[in-house]
Amino acid sequence: MTGKGWTFQSLIDAKMTVTAFCHHAPCNHSQKLDLAKLRDRFGPDAPAMADDIIPKLKCAKCGGRKVGTIYTPDTSPNAYGKAKGS
Protein backbone atom coordinates (compact mmCIF):
# COMPACT_ATOMS: atom_id res chain seq x y z
CA MET A 1 0.00 0.00 0.00
CA THR A 2 3.02 2.25 0.01
CA GLY A 3 3.83 4.44 -2.93
CA LYS A 4 0.26 5.51 -3.19
CA GLY A 5 -0.90 8.71 -1.64
CA TRP A 6 -4.28 8.05 -0.15
CA THR A 7 -6.73 10.85 0.29
CA PHE A 8 -9.98 10.54 2.18
CA GLN A 9 -11.86 10.41 -1.10
CA SER A 10 -9.63 7.77 -2.63
CA LEU A 11 -9.99 5.61 0.47
CA ILE A 12 -13.75 5.85 0.16
CA ASP A 13 -13.66 5.15 -3.56
CA ALA A 14 -11.48 2.11 -2.98
CA LYS A 15 -13.80 0.95 -0.21
CA MET A 16 -10.93 0.85 2.21
CA THR A 17 -11.51 0.58 5.91
CA VAL A 18 -9.21 2.42 8.26
CA THR A 19 -9.16 1.18 11.81
CA ALA A 20 -7.44 3.10 14.57
CA PHE A 21 -5.87 1.23 17.47
CA CYS A 22 -4.91 2.66 20.81
CA HIS A 23 -1.43 1.55 21.83
CA HIS A 24 -1.88 2.24 25.51
CA ALA A 25 -1.55 -1.18 27.06
CA PRO A 26 -4.56 -1.37 29.37
CA CYS A 27 -6.82 0.28 26.83
CA ASN A 28 -6.30 -1.26 23.39
CA HIS A 29 -9.40 0.43 22.12
CA SER A 30 -9.97 0.09 18.40
CA GLN A 31 -12.39 1.91 16.21
CA LYS A 32 -13.18 2.15 12.55
CA LEU A 33 -12.73 5.65 11.27
CA ASP A 34 -15.70 7.37 9.70
CA LEU A 35 -14.03 8.30 6.44
CA ALA A 36 -17.01 10.19 5.10
CA LYS A 37 -17.04 12.37 8.17
CA LEU A 38 -13.30 12.96 7.99
CA ARG A 39 -13.60 13.84 4.32
CA ASP A 40 -16.29 16.39 5.11
CA ARG A 41 -14.11 17.83 7.82
CA PHE A 42 -10.73 17.90 6.12
CA GLY A 43 -11.73 17.83 2.46
CA PRO A 44 -11.72 15.04 -0.13
CA ASP A 45 -8.19 15.79 -1.26
CA ALA A 46 -6.71 15.92 2.21
CA PRO A 47 -3.89 13.40 2.54
CA ALA A 48 -5.00 10.34 4.46
CA MET A 49 -1.87 8.29 4.88
CA ALA A 50 -1.09 6.96 8.33
CA ASP A 51 1.38 9.77 8.95
CA ASP A 52 -1.30 12.29 8.08
CA ILE A 53 -4.12 10.74 10.05
CA ILE A 54 -2.36 9.68 13.22
CA PRO A 55 -1.57 13.20 14.47
CA LYS A 56 -5.27 14.02 14.19
CA LEU A 57 -6.33 11.03 16.25
CA LYS A 58 -6.91 10.64 19.91
CA CYS A 59 -8.22 7.53 21.59
CA ALA A 60 -11.94 7.98 22.27
CA LYS A 61 -11.71 5.81 25.34
CA CYS A 62 -8.59 6.87 27.24
CA GLY A 63 -7.67 10.06 25.39
CA GLY A 64 -4.22 8.69 24.62
CA ARG A 65 -2.38 9.86 21.55
CA LYS A 66 -0.38 6.74 20.90
CA VAL A 67 -2.63 5.59 18.12
CA GLY A 68 -1.88 3.39 15.16
CA THR A 69 -3.87 2.72 12.02
CA ILE A 70 -4.54 -0.32 9.90
CA TYR A 71 -5.74 -0.03 6.31
CA THR A 72 -7.94 -2.88 5.21
CA PRO A 73 -9.26 -3.46 1.71
CA ASP A 74 -12.90 -4.36 1.30
CA THR A 75 -13.11 -8.11 1.53
CA SER A 76 -16.84 -8.53 1.64
CA PRO A 77 -17.97 -11.33 -0.64
CA ASN A 78 -19.33 -10.22 -3.95
CA ALA A 79 -21.31 -11.67 -6.79
CA TYR A 80 -18.41 -13.23 -8.63
CA GLY A 81 -18.13 -16.21 -6.34
CA LYS A 82 -17.29 -19.45 -8.00
CA ALA A 83 -17.13 -20.10 -11.68
CA LYS A 84 -19.87 -22.36 -12.88
CA GLY A 85 -18.91 -25.88 -13.83
CA SER A 86 -16.37 -26.07 -16.59
Binding site for Zn ion (CB under 5 A): 22, 24, 27, 29, 59, 61-62, 64
**Measured from the CB of residue 43, what is the shortest distance to Zn ion in angstroms?**
27
**Measured from the CB of residue 25, what is the shortest distance to Zn ion in angstroms?**
9
Closer CB to Zn ion, residue 16 or residue 27?
Answer: 27
CB 19 within 8 A of CB 11: no
Q: How far apart are CA 61 and CA 49, in angstroms?
A: 23
Give the helix, strand, coil percentages of the chain, each rounded to 5.
25, 20, 55
Closer CB to Zn ion, residue 1 or residue 25?
Answer: 25
Closer CB to Zn ion, residue 38 or residue 59?
Answer: 59
CA distances from 1 to 6, 8, 32, 62, 85 (A): 9, 15, 18, 29, 35
**Measured from the CB of residue 61, what is the shortest distance to Zn ion in angstroms?**
5
